[in-house]
Amino acid sequence: MRFWRRSLLTVAVCLLALSGRAYAMSARSAVVMDADTGAVRYAHNADEVLPMASTTKIMTALVVIEQGDLDRSYTVKPEYTRTEGSSMYLKPGETLTIRDTLYGLMLMSGNDAALALAGECGGQEAFVQAMNDKAQALGLTNTHFENPNGLDGETHHTTAHELAQLTAYALQNPDFREIVSTKSITCAGRTMVNHNKMLTQYEGAIGVKTGYTKKCGRCLVSAAERNGRTLVAVTLNDPDDWDDHAAMLDDAFSAYAPVTLHQAGETVGDVPVEGGTQPRVGLTADHDAIVYLTDDEREQVTDSFRGRRFVYATVAGGDYYGEIVYRLGDFLIKTDSLAYAGDVEQIEPPPSIWERLIEFFKNLFGW
């Protein structure tokens, strides 16, 4: 009996150890965050201040994109090419666009691309200041940049949580999202392949950025979307980042389950009717409304109508009224169109004073 108890205990410990892989314990710091609501789904030393290597380029790309005019051309200066580490292999004197350079920045992790973008978007010193100003504006109090490429620096650092917050914000920009989700592209006379293996290895992956220096270790920011929900995972100094990200994201996505907010044809509310034979008319939903929520989110969903506060008779059943909108905090999770549930006829207006006088005299004189 003692042997069996000892064996069962051993099995339990092994299973616990295996389940721990979902929590990225090989990382110095890790977090999984809901990109839409900001809710943290998992954290491990998520607020520890650490260097972040080339994940720096998330902020570099964001600052460039928010300045706009991505399709303008520029000529590569020699100083843009004088940098160590990964490169998109810019050549002095060649001409390309800001957008092309952004692909080199995010797909090939080009340190030369970072210098070129900073140089063409205000100059190195002013650009790094813009990066820090943006961090401050986003409330990233433990994030500071010394350069646009992520090479080691004494005060070049962030936290896993703040890097996730930055990424969630950046993913709202369609240009940023398109670039970081691109697996490969041919532009500026070169074919560039994304270094981020998550894009090919993980279902629903939409980016975002790898990073490595000897000081920082392996750093990775990934994002994935399933069933309308987007998660961001970050690990800093993680020797097993690809597997850890897949495990963390799988674990976080498993917490979301389908919830039916309403069914097609269901009456979800009503609206007052002026001048009608009925004081109100029902509003029916046109489609099923199914969203994926965690258990704690279910009670936080609110709904409201987009439409007129009242309508005038006559009302025809089936005609379009407006929309029902479901929100989770400030996050819009679902909308559906609404139709009137039935007909409401107009009340016959009362006779005017002249009509009543004529009717009176008709009755009086027998007309």
Catalytic (active-site) positions: 54, 57, 109
The answer to whether residues 106 and 138 touch, using CB atoms and an 8 Å cutoff, is no
Strands 229-236 and 205-213, sheet pairing? unpaired
Distance between CA atoms of residues 219 and 212, nearest Å:
6
DSSP lists the bridge partners of residue 327 as 302, 332
Q: How many CB atoms lie within 10 A of CB 215?
A: 13
Cα angle 187, 189, 193; round to 5:
55
| Six-digit token string for 363 | 């009755």
DSSP lists the bridge partners of residue 210 as 220
Distance between CA atoms of residues 133 and 165, nearest Å:
15
The answer to whether residues 201 and 271 touch, using CB atoms and an 8 Å cutoff, is no
**Helices 124-137 & 111-120, crossing angle to 10 degrees?**
90
Count H helices, E strands: the chain?
10, 17
